[in-house]
Amino acid sequence: MNAPTSGLKPYALAVGALLVVALPWLAGDQYQLHLAALIAVYWILVAGLNLVIGYTGQISIGHVGLLAIGAYSFTILTGKLEWHPGLAVLVAGAVCGLCGLALGLPSLRLPGFYFAMATMAFALIVNELVLANDGWTGGGIGMPVDIFPAPFDTPVGYYYLVVMVALAVTLLTWNVVRHMWGLGLVSIRDTEVTAQAVGVPIFRVKLTIFVFSGIAAGVSGALFASLQSYITPDTFVFELSLFFFVSIIIGGRGSIVGPLLGTAVLTALPELVAPLAKLGNFFYGLLLLVVVLVVPEGIGRVFEVLQERWKPRKVANETVQPDLVRLQRALAEPGASGAAPPATALRKPALGEQA
């Protein structure tokens, strides 16, 4: 299932890591560095959401609401209550985890479309509440956000901070998907009934993953607010949810590297190619439609197919020689051969016979 992850060569990983570390020197200007930090911040959310959408198959289109809650919690904690930003990030994550729990408890019991609608409604509610409580959130005008203290107050320092957090989240999700948990998630995505039949505690697994994605969204929201330095309700439009969503679907369900590349490409592409920026969400919608119709498994699947064509996997042809002599002997007189269990072991103990 996670062939792209396991197929990744160590040197590709090393080159990627080197590139990420060296990026502040490679980037031409501050704006490109800002873009790189933005990709990392989005990825923190997408990594959590990927477990929900890509692995568990629950279509959540309301994660922008969790992002907004994280951003506003962080801003209120650091701005109005003057907490330390590092602590505020953690608390924002915890708050969003609780919100994810509150949203997931009722709505994760519902089937596909109902769940999608509940999460969409959640995003709208958050926007409404932000506008209504303008004493806390600044209403439609928005409010400025504090930046992080000393080592992280420069663009380069901040970039390293978000990359470290993104790396930690990626490791966490990677650890989840490559063990029994990942298999449980995939089984829920593919056939829920079968998953239940083989003993996966469906609701508990779904809820745990959803809460985890909520925490990731909260941390991402806090870092996002600090990166943007000013937030208004207009920052958290519903279409941002679509963007997260498309990143995951394009990258491929059931993979971690795919959505990572999807996030990076989709964040950078409209910024670097001007006509796409104008089309904006139309472009995302078109991309989503094309991927769903042509390669529902994600772009990663295309690469796998191409790889297969260029460098076909060797399928060894081994003929299995049945050991006819032993088979015959075993069939002829059970108990005579060493391979077959002695007949006495299979015999039911008679009454009165105690082992």
Nearest residue (CB) to another protein, 188 versus 223? 188
CB of 96 to another protein, least distance (A): 18
Burial bucket for residue 298 (CB in 10 Å: 0-12, 13-18, 19+): buried
Residue the block writes with tokens 């108990």 = 335
Strand partners, 230: 144
Alpha-carbon span 324 to 213, nearest angstrom: 56
Nearest residue (CB) to another protein, 30 versus 191? 191
CB of 291 to another protein, least distance (A): 8
CB of 242 to another protein, least distance (A): 6
Alpha-carbon span 3 to 256, nearest angstrom: 10
CB of 270 to another protein, least distance (A): 13
Alpha-carbon span 328 to 225, nearest angstrom: 75
CB of 27 to another protein, least distance (A): 30
What phi, psi does 143 have (nearest 5°)? -155, 155
Interface with another protein by CB under 8 A: which residues? 57, 59, 61, 106-107, 109-110, 112-114, 116-118, 120-122, 124-125, 128-129, 131-132, 192-193, 238-239, 242, 245, 249, 278-282, 284-286, 288-289, 292-293, 296
- Compute how many other C-beta atoms are within 10 angstroms of the C-beta atom of residue 115: 23
Nearest residue (CB) to another protein, 117 versus 330? 117
Check residue 154 and report its DSSP letter. S
Nearest residue (CB) to another protein, 96 versus 249? 249
Nearest residue (CB) to another protein, 226 versus 255? 255
Alpha-carbon span 185 to 200, nearest angstrom: 9
